[in-house]
Amino acid sequence: MSDAQQQAAQTGQHGEGFTVGAIREQFPVLHQEVHGKPLIYLDNAATTQKPRVVIDTIREFYETDNANIHRGVHTLSARASERFEAARAQVARSLNATSEREIVFVRGVTEAINLLAHSLSHDWQAGDEVILSELEHHANIVPWLMLKERKGIEIKVIPATESGELEIDALPGLLSERTRLVAVNHVSNALGTINPVARIAAIARERGVPVLVDGAQGLPHGPVDVEALGCDFYACSSHKVFGPSGVGALYARGDWFERIPPFMGGGDMIEEVRFDGIRYAPPPSKFEAGTPNIEGAIGFAAALAWANSLDWLAVERHEATLLARMTDGLASITDLRIVGTATHKVPVVSFLIDGAHPHDIGTLLDSMGIAIRTGHHCAMPLMQRFSALAGTARASAAFYNTTDEIDQFVAAVARVRDMLV
Amino acid sequence: MADKAPTIDAEISALKDEFAFLGDWTERYQYIMDMGKQMPAFPAEKQDEAHKFHGCQSQVWFDYEWDGDHLKLYGTSDAAIVKGLIALLFRIYSDRTAGEILDAGNGFIDELGLGAHLSANRATGLVNMVEKIRSLAAEKAA
């Protein structure tokens, strides 16, 4: 680290666009004590906290514009519809999609992938193949296993190395005439690895195979450009990116949403309904049956607009500092093993302490005011791969975490290690 | 650790005093884990499916026997805090008669602050084990 970087890390000053202290001011939940200790929130890969602007946007929507969308002739309904569609436009802009018609609102990544597993597979046959990776979480495994049970598809897996990086060289050999989709995560939730999704997409698309990127953990750590990634589908969850829970978006390139059948049926997704037939509405409505999470979509858009306004070069420098500090600090603790040591990572560190159960580590840290996640991180195959059958302890930082918090966390883990071993 | 108290209520009262003496929850967990370490070893050959106590995030094994009128409890866990909580439960309930167990409530979980400080999963595991102990006592009393 250079002197300037070190100084920046200590003061939290990273140029004009980003000051950790000023960012923290915008997150009310961070300013509290837990068990009599100042809260240190390092469970951001599970969910992120919400800035004031998101909380205010949702409250203000309920106080001024709340109505059901797309069907009322009255003023409030028109305003609510307009805001909902403006939210869609914001998501499209944030992902650099070509058109708002490429964006469907869903409950989150889990629903997005279930939608695709259902709708993409309408013309798949037994023996068709989907390629996943060893780094996936259950949301990008279980829907495909369910499809395997239902349709007899085959699942192939891009292996991961000991450091938790995907063996991309294995991908060409896994692709076959029967491959219908490659579905990989942008960033591993359990290990923090940033996967080379643009390269994966390039390899797959050269063979005419569409690519789904699960962006649950990607979007929180930097702007996403679906053009640059070259993927066909990108799924994201609002709550992972400083927005409300229960809403997310699925991007599908070009006319994909026109070419596949709807997922759920109901109101709002039809143009005409008779008892002897239906005509679906054009996308995105075709994939948005029923009343959607209106305030959620609007809050999500507020979160994206807010995040997009940050100085991301400075944010990325700060996150790199947090990661380095966390990695170096934890690595110096006796009996501690970091699981996932990829070269390119977001500030997520999974670790094990010999002779200590991850749940004990998590409980003791909680008693010190520190929130981390313990367990299998909804990625059981990955935990098996790394012989962490009881799961790991995982600390995941966001840009509102300070280097001081990381130092306190590392000191707390050292203390916990002495208590447990 | 104090010697076993003569009654369940006295035991809970002693635990409350011991907890109050400790400064914060980190120290209380340390104390709970120390209780776990002092429990008699649970035989490795009994750490099998038949003795597994389900409904916990960590692995828990459980066994019991009736020594005349008195219920003797045995158990362990692969997680140190859970093992300590088992030891705490056994201080309260082991070596008691069915009548004593059935007369006692499970209010101690909240009185000791365990309900508020344990994660929901662990508090549920604790309640489940109390229920199991009470159902053993009820069978015996029937």
CB-based contact B81 A364, cutoff 8 Å: yes
Task: Provide the pLDDT confidence category of residue A17 given band limits of 50, 70 and 90.
Answer: low
User: Quick check: A420 contacting B, CB < 8 Å?
Assistant: yes
User: Quick check: B14 contacting A, CB < 8 Å?
Assistant: no
Per-residue confidence (pLDDT) for residue B138, from 0 to 100: 94
Give the three-state DSSP class for A385.
Answer: helix
Q: Which residues of B touch A356 (CB under 8 A)?
A: 80
Give catalytic residues of B, as residue numbers.
56
Judge if ipTM > 0.85: yes
User: Quick check: B123 contacting A, CB < 8 Å?
Assistant: no
What number does CATH give the domain B8-141?
A: 3.90.1010.10
CB-based contact A360 B122, cutoff 8 Å: no
User: Quick check: B23 contacting A, CB < 8 Å?
Assistant: no
Beta strands in A89-221 (DSSP E): 103-106, 129-133, 154-158, 179-185, 211-214
Q: Which residues of A touch B33 (CB under 8 A)?
A: 360, 419-420
Find the helix packing angle between A403-420 and B25-37, rounded to 10°.
20
Task: Provide the pLDDT confidence category of residue A407 given band limits of 50, 70 and 90.
Answer: very high
Per-residue confidence (pLDDT) for residue B56, from 0 to 100: 67
Please give the C-alpha separations between residue A151 and each of A19, A113, A118, A213, in angstroms, as whole numbers: 52, 16, 11, 23
- Which range (A14-23, A28-37, B131-140) has the least confidence? A14-23
- Start-to-end CA distance of chain B, whole Å, equals 34
CA A378, chain centre distance (Å): 13
Q: Which residues of B touch A359 (CB under 8 A)?
A: 57-58, 79, 81-82, 122
Q: Which residue of B24, B30, B57 is in closest CB contact with A359? A: B57
Q: Which residues of A touch B57 (CB under 8 A)?
A: 359, 375
Task: Provide the pLDDT confidence category of residue B6 given band limits of 50, 70 and 90.
Answer: confident
User: Quick check: B7 contacting A, CB < 8 Å?
Assistant: no
The amino acid present at B81, given as its one-letter code, is I
What is the tens place of the pLDDT at every residue in A99-110?
Answer: 999 999 999 999
Task: Provide the pLDDT confidence category of residue B27 given band limits of 50, 70 and 90.
Answer: very high
The amino acid present at A81, given as its one-letter code, is S
- Domain layout of chain A by residue ranges: 3-47+311-420, 65-308
> Of A388 and A225, which is predicted with more confidence?
A225
- Start-to-end CA distance of chain A, whole Å, equals 33
CA dist., res. A410 & res. A393, Å (int): 13
Instruction: Name beta bridge partners: B28.
Output: none
CA A189, chain centre distance (Å): 8
CA dist., res. A250 & res. A216, Å (int): 11
Residues 6+ apart with CB under 8 A from A188: A135, A137, A164, A195, A217, A340, A348, A379, A382
User: Quick check: A390 contacting B, CB < 8 Å?
Assistant: yes
Q: Which is catalytic among the residues A378, A379, A382, A397?
A: A378
User: Quick check: B38 contacting A, CB < 8 Å?
Assistant: no
Q: Which residues of A touch B29 (CB under 8 A)?
A: 363-364, 367, 419
Q: Which residues of B touch A363 (CB under 8 A)?
A: 29, 81, 118-119, 122
CA dist., res. A378 & res. A373, Å (int): 11
Per-residue confidence (pLDDT) for residue A297, from 0 to 100: 98
CB-based contact A359 B82, cutoff 8 Å: yes
CA angle A70, A74, A75 (to 5 degrees): 95
pLDDT at A163 over 70: yes
What is the tens place of the pLDDT at every residue in B51-97?
Answer: 998 866 788 999 999 999 999 999 999 999 999 999 999 999 999 99
Residues A42 and A319 sit within 8 Å (Cβ to Cβ): no
Q: Which residues of A touch B58 (CB under 8 A)?
A: 357, 359, 390
Residues A312 and A265 sit within 8 Å (Cβ to Cβ): no
Per-residue confidence (pLDDT) for residue A384, from 0 to 100: 87
CB-based contact A360 B30, cutoff 8 Å: no
Task: Provide the pLDDT confidence category of residue A2 given band limits of 50, 70 and 90.
Answer: very low
CB-based contact B25 A367, cutoff 8 Å: yes
Class of domain A3-47+311-420: alpha beta
The residue behind tokens 């069978």 is B139
Q: A149: buried, middle or exposed (CB in 10 Å: 19+, 13-18, 0-12)?
A: exposed
- Domain layout of chain B by residue ranges: 8-141
Q: Report the b/e string of A133-143 with b at 16+ CB within 10 A.
A: bbbbbbbbbbb
User: Quick check: A25 contacting B, CB < 8 Å?
Assistant: no
Residues A241 and A308 sit within 8 Å (Cβ to Cβ): no
CB-based contact B29 A368, cutoff 8 Å: no
CB-based contact A35 B58, cutoff 8 Å: no
User: Quick check: B82 contacting A, CB < 8 Å?
Assistant: yes
Q: What is the mean pLDDT of residues A152-164?
A: 97
| Domain A65-308 bears CATH identifier 3.40.50.720 | no
Q: Which residue of A360, A368, A375 is in closest CB contact with B81? A: A360
CA A257, chain centre distance (Å): 22
CB-based contact A36 B24, cutoff 8 Å: yes
Residues A140 and A132 sit within 8 Å (Cβ to Cβ): yes
